[in-house]
C-alpha cells in the first residue's frame, strides 16, 4: 500500500499487510496517521458493535476518539446544529451522537462505522469537514457520494470483519524490537454488576471500550450510550479527569437555551457558530469571541450562578478510568458533572480513600481488575 508520507510530510513510509489485510483502499491515498486512525477506530466500533448489538461510530483524531456513540435518540441540539430535516437512520444517528461529543475536535476527523454506510450518512458527510471513513461496507451510491469530497481525495476504506487480529504486536523503538501479546481480553457485562440497568450496562461497556482504544492516561465520561467527554494522553490522571469533566460540562452547557440561541455575527459559517457556542459553553472565550458574545447577548450572558444551576441538572454520567485512581481528587472532580458510577481497575494505594470519596458523593464504584492502557 503506497502512503503519501509517514507521520510528517518529510517522512517516507510504506505499509505491507501481515497476512490478510484489515481493510482495503477504495479511494484516496492515506498517510501513516490515516492508517493508524482507521485501524484504531475500526477496532473500537467493531468491538462495541459486538457487545451492544447496534450500530456504533467513532470520530477519530490523531489516533484518539473525539467521540464514540451507539445508535440512539438524537436531541434538538444536534438537529439544530446540522442541516438535518428527517429523522436520522441508525447509522447516521450514531455518528451524529459521536460528533456531538466534541464538534470542534471532530473537525477533519476520520469516521469509523461498525455497519454499512447508508446514503443518509454519506450525504451528511458531504456537508461537513472530514478526511476519511472506514466501514465494513457501503450501500449502492454511497461511495460515489463520498468520492466527491476533498476534490476526490476523500479517503474511503473498506474494513474486513473476517481479518484476524495478530496474536502479537511488534514495535521497533530505536535499536529495540519489542513484542507483546495483543490485548484480546474481552470487555463484557460480566465485569459489571448483574443488576445494572440495561441502558447503564451498554453505556458502561461503550465507555470501557472507548477507553481501551484511547491513548493513556484516559478518562471517558459517557451518558445514554454516547461518550460526552473523552480525555486522552495526559501525564497526570487528575488532569485527565478535569479534561473529561470540562468536555462533559461543555457538552451539557451547549444545551442551555442561551447557548443554543447564539448565531454569531452576520455571515457566520456553521462551524464558526459551533465554535462560538463552544466558547460560551466552556466559559473560556478568546477576546474576539468575548466581544462577539457580548454584542449578541448583552445582559443575557450567563453568570457563574447560572452555570452552576444548569450544571446541577446533569446526571447519570458514567466515568471510566483506564488505570487505577491514585487520589480522591479524581472523584471530587467527577462529582461535579452528576457522575453516578466510576469504573476503574482498582489496586491503588489510596483505594480506601477513593472508595470513601465515592460513598460521600453517592457514586457507585466498580473495580474490574482490568487495566486498559494504550501507548
Active site (catalytic) residues: 61-62, 217, 375
As a whole number of angstroms, the distance between CA 321 and CA 324 comes to 7
Residue 359 CB neighbour total at 10 angstroms: 12
Closest CA to 343 of 170, 220, 190, 238: 220
Closest CA to 20 of 171, 159, 169: 159
110 φ, ψ (degrees, to nearest 5): -110, 125
Residue 171, strand partner residues: 178
Set of cell numbers at residue 79: 438537529
DSSP state string for 117-167: B-HHHHHHHTTS-EEEEEES-B-TTHHHHHHTGGGGT-EEEEE-TTSPPPS
Q: 290-298, long-range: CB within 8 Å, 24+ apart, which pairs?
A: 292/264, 292/265, 293/262, 295/265, 296/262, 296/263, 296/264, 296/265, 297/258, 297/261, 297/262
Contact 335, 315 (CB under 8 A): no
Amino acid at each position: 500500500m503506497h502512503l503519501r508520507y509517514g507521520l510528517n510530510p518529510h517522512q517516507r513510509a510504506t505499509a505491507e499487510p501481515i497476512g490478510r489485510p484489515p481493510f482495503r483502499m477504495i479511494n484516496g491515498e492515506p498517510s501513516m496517521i490515516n492508517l493508524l486512525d482507521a485501524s484504531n477506530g475500526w477496532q473500537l466500533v467493531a468491538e462495541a458493535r459486538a457487545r451492544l448489538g447496534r450500530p456504533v461510530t467513532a470520530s477519530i483524531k490523531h489516533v484518539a476518539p473525539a467521540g464514540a456513540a451507539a445508535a440512539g435518540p438524537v436531541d434538538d441540539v444536534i438537529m439544530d446544529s446540522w442541516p438535518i430535516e428527517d429523522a436520522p437512520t441508525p447509522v447516521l444517528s450514531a455518528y451524529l451522537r459521536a460528533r456531538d461529543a466534541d464538534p470542534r475536535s471532530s473537525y477533519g476527523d476520520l469516521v469509523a462505522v461498525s455497519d454499512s454506510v447508508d446514503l443518509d450518512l454519506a450525504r451528511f458527510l458531504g456537508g461537513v469537514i472530514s478526511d476519511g471513513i472506514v466501514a465494513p461496507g457501503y450501500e449502492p451510491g454511497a461511495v460515489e457520494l463520498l468520492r466527491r469530497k476533498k476534490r476526490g481525495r476523500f479517503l474511503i476504506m473498506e474494513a474486513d470483519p473476517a481479518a484476524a487480529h495478530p496474536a502479537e504486536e511488534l514495535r521497533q523503538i530505536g535499536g529495540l524490537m519489542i513484542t507483546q501479546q495483543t490485548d484480546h481480553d474481552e470487555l463484557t457485562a460480566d465485569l459489571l454488576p448483574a443488576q445494572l440497568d440495561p441502558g447503564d450496562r451498554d453505556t458502561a461497556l461503550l465507555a470501557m471500550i472507548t477507553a481501551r482504544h484511547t491513548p493513556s492516561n484516559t478518562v471517558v465520561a459517557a451518558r445514554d450510550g454516547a461518550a460526552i467527554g473523552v480525555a486522552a494522553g495526559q501525564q497526570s490522571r487528575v488532569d485527565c479527569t478535569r479534561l473529561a469533566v470540562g468536555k462533559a460540562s461543555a457538552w451539557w452547557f451547549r444545551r442551555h437555551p442561551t447557548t443554543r440561541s447564539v448565531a454569531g455575527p452576520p455571515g457566520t459559517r456553521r462551524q464558526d457558530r459551533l465554535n462560538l457556542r463552544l466558547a460560551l459553553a466552556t466559559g473560556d472565550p478568546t477576546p474576539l469571541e468575548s466581544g462577539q458574545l457580548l454584542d449578541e447577548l448583552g445582559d443575557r450572558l450567563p453568570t457563574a450562578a447560572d452555570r452552576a444551576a444548569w450544571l446541577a441538572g446533569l446526571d447519570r454520567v458514567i466515568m471510566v478510568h483506564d488505570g487505577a485512581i491514585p487520589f480522591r481528587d479524581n472523584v471530587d472532580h467527577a462529582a461535579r458533572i452528576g457522575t453516578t458510577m466510576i469504573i476503574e481497575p482498582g489496586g491503588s494505594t489510596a483505594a480506601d480513600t477513593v472508595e470513601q470519596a465515592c460513598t460521600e458523593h453517592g457514586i457507585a464504584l466498580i473495580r474490574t481488575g482490568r487495566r486498559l492502557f494504550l501507548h
